[in-house]
Structure 1
């Protein structure tokens, strides 16, 4: 394989990816060791912030290990459909949500089926998928169909029309860009117990800087719980992708992604990944081109996205904590 020459300005301390690597190093060296929900154990710190400029197609796509950006993109497009069943993802070869319904099936049915066999059955059997593939009212449901209830004259409540937060944000950015209420919220307290996993990347707030042709769309993401080794690379890409999509829809230039974490942690069984990744240096600046402008935020397809100048180090595998 031919060697790749990387310009000196794309490596070293000035590369935006060093923020991520420095955060990983800080958590592993200084984080408090804790017993967590999964029983695996973490090293954790309270609070962190990363900032990425999205101008000129730049994206926070990590290069110190390969990140499967198409998988993350398919997940984002799935969120925007409001779907909560894993079957559409399974049929696209996306595996990131499989462990949760599998664990529930084994626990409730007593059938100790292998994960791969469970996933194959989800793909082949629509009725089985309808019963066992649903995750409850997770991200997409809250984003595009937040439930409402109306008080009736007889003293009872009935379900009202769902709220499409994404559509509302797009419209408010178009009509009232200076608002401080451009928010997409996933943390529906009333429905947390019905979710396979309560939302980790829970609150997106959009902010417009500049006016007219100079308007830039910024996104602030608050993530209450962050698996830095496996989850954060996907979360950064997805948040930047959503920002780019919305910016295109409202005819603004992409600005800055500001990521803020609450409980920011590394799992103890990810030591091999952390050790290896921290020996690597960032290389290159990946860029995203959106190939067309669909009619709405809900009409994008995977074919609409093309990543260029992505020359990552190899992948590093590690188990997902369920």
Structure 2
């Protein structure tokens, strides 16, 4: 009997509510936390796992992934795409440093209008994209981890070393936020399938993401959507078909000011996941735009507003 895959997410929320350890966290908000979780989503039929028990703004999530892929670390380019999910950290730093209680709207307007101001106050430090695409080793050499993975997918797809990560110990203290989704490991299946060998079918590309810390209420819905989008992009670039997205969480938690949202989610019944189709094949992983993502059949329950813990 088919069970909607979103129930994995809802079951995890219910488990955290029942078994979660009440903890004081970095933000001071407090959480209910469990350690160790796994979610699996089959992407092979074009399914796009965008949760339906509340509206997930999947375009914002995918735009963030596209920003990661550029290797950029300044919120100015995100704001130009109307993505505001990273503003809280530089805004908080600006307020604490200057004492000016500027509104978020005014801060964002200054970032957009003033390149010098953006360089000084809009940079997040060497966060995700910097590590993925421009990891600097002890000799000062830059390493494009993602390009290396994609080259291996094309030349040695049975390798067990196809991964990139963002936990650069030497640069953690320079980051606005230490990486949460840390490790991206790829796996190819079906290489010995006669249909694949004959060229009548393609190998399947799967991705496992290891996340050290997961905000179930706000973060996980975004992460799952953008990671699924990444599988589709990489699979297209290496001439494979999407397989599974496997998500593994370490400290998996609900913030104490998200408990009402969690109960609302549990009261709702999941609806069918939408489908994703890439409308074109760019020359490289760097060429994707949000317009390339055609999503059909997304009919979620209404959105639920909840505060971000900074």
TM over 0.5: yes
The runs of at least 4 consecutive aligned structure 1 residues that moved more than 3 Å come to: none
CA distance in 2, matches of 1:204, 1:298: 18
Partner of 1:153: none
Partner of 1:202: 182
Checking the alignment, whether the CA contact within 8 Å between 2:202 and 2:239 is kept in structure 1 is no
CA distance in 2, matches of 1:72, 1:257: 16
Residue 256 in structure 1 maps to residue 238 in structure 2: no
Partner of 2:144: 164
Query: C-alpha offsets along residues 97-148 of structure 1, whole Å, 9 cap, x if unaligned?
Result: 0000000101111212122211111111111111000000000000000012
Aligned with 1:222: secondary structure? strand
CA distance in 1, matches of 2:51, 2:105: 28
Matches within 5 A, 1:13-92: 14-92=3-81
CA distance in 1, matches of 2:119, 2:277: 36
Checking the alignment, whether the CA contact within 8 Å between 2:29 and 2:257 is kept in structure 1 is yes
Matches within 5 A, 1:118-129: 118-129=107-118
Measured after TM superposition, the shift of residue 214 of structure 1 is: 3.9
The match for 1:291 among 268, 279, 293 is 279
Partner of 2:168: 188
CA distance in 2, matches of 1:307, 1:290: 9
Measured after TM superposition, the shift of residue 285 of structure 1 is: 2.2
Aligned with 2:138: secondary structure? strand
Q: How many pairs are equivalent?
A: 302
5+ long unaligned stretches in structure 1: 1-8, 151-158
Query: C-alpha offsets along residues 58-109 of structure 1, whole Å, 9 cap, x if unaligned?
Result: 1211000000011011111111111000001111110100000000101111
Measured after TM superposition, the shift of residue 149 of structure 1 is: 2.9
Q: What RMSD over aligned residues (CA atoms) do the two structures have, in Å?
A: 1.0
Partner of 2:256: 268
Partner of 2:233: 245
Query: C-alpha offsets along residues 197-240 of structure 1, whole Å, 9 cap, x if unaligned?
Result: 01000000000011233410010100000000000000001111
